[in-house]
Structure 1
């Protein structure tokens, strides 16, 4: 009476022996999913950032497939990790292809990123003059007028000037009476966007130059660099401030 049951079990075991075994390639594909390729822009200068201590970080952004030829000057982000095999050079905007790999927890050193970035190829490298702004500039013209006569008749009046610190994305200077400072919110491709500018509150005998300089500075939208000259322009691309580089 037990023979039919025994035969049934033998058939069942034989069928199981022919079931599909796990494919080794399947597990390899699952592992491969921890890696991906991505396109990034890399900006032409570095920003001050805070890691274990203060350091300089690359500025990057993913390539927008709707506009793959130009980065967005307001979309740069600090990049804290190293990029293996990437020989970065200041003064150039890069488009690069990266391999991004998420490492298993047991392979991640203490205080290190769990993601490894490796350069696959440099797709584009273009010289960019924006870094030249990182300097001190003395005003020479205001709204199309030479300011020398305005400076000459008043010994107490300082020449307005600006100092750009691109690592910190800040601007400092004087309006001829008060010191000023503020942030740079966006910069590149001939465009510049200042944040709110703060000034000291000294009252000088003659505030005409200071007031006109500050009003012009608040209208700035574009910049041009030519040799040792910096020109700041308004929304209509009219020159409103001209500076010479200070050695």
Structure 2
């Protein structure tokens, strides 16, 4: 009997702890969610952690018919690595520094196969070596040099 009284008291305490401090409106018209503000606090760098396909080099649409596969890169923030394919060869690099604007890559290494033609892979690699900053806008990732000139533009594909 004593145990059942304790159980009733516990359940009443639990229910009172779960009560609303403000009554919920009958419709959602006056309900304010904090979710949009919380989403805005999300670290912009986290969006980088994905796979990106090349769209343009130095503002010119990449001629993708000339490559074995579409150049792409994957940014792995957990390991601070950049891996990908330039259209012919695989490559990888460490990400030495990253904030919400700047990205500094370590030396880029990769395979050395020859594909014909090599124009897109060569231009891609040359510009990737000059990357100093980035910008995310929607599903687009743009890499810039130290002067702020756009080097490479990617589309999020994953």
So what's the TM-score if we normalise by structure 2? 0.72
Q: How many residues align?
A: 120
Taking the aligned partners of 1:245 and 1:189, their CA distance within structure 2 comes to 17
- Tell me what 1:145 maps to: 60
* More strand by percentage: 1
- Tell me what 1:209 maps to: 120
| Consecutive unaligned residues in structure 2, runs of 5 or more | 1-37
Deviations 1:177-220 (A, max 9, x none): 10001100000030000001111010111111111000000000
What's the CA shift for 1:151? 1.5
Taking the aligned partners of 1:161 and 1:212, their CA distance within structure 2 comes to 13
- Coordinate RMSD, CA, aligned: 1.6
- Tell me what 2:84 maps to: 173
Aligned with 1:209: secondary structure? helix
Alignment of 1:91-102 (within 5 A): none
By relative contact order (CA 8 Å, sep 6+), the higher-ranking structure is 2
* More helix by percentage: 2
Aligned with 1:189: secondary structure? coil
User: Which has the higher Rg, Structure 1 or Structure 2?
Assistant: 1
- Tell me what 2:44 maps to: 129
Taking the aligned partners of 2:133 and 2:140, their CA distance within structure 1 comes to 14
Alignment of 1:16-35 (within 5 A): none
Asked if 1:228 is matched to 2:143, the reply is: no
Taking the aligned partners of 1:188 and 1:140, their CA distance within structure 2 comes to 23
Aligned with 2:109: secondary structure? strand
What's the CA shift for 1:127? 3.8
- Tell me what 1:74 maps to: none
What's the CA shift for 1:227? 0.8
| Consecutive unaligned residues in structure 1, runs of 5 or more | 1-91, 93-125
Runs of 4+ in structure 1 over 6 Å off? none
What's the CA shift for 1:158? 1.4
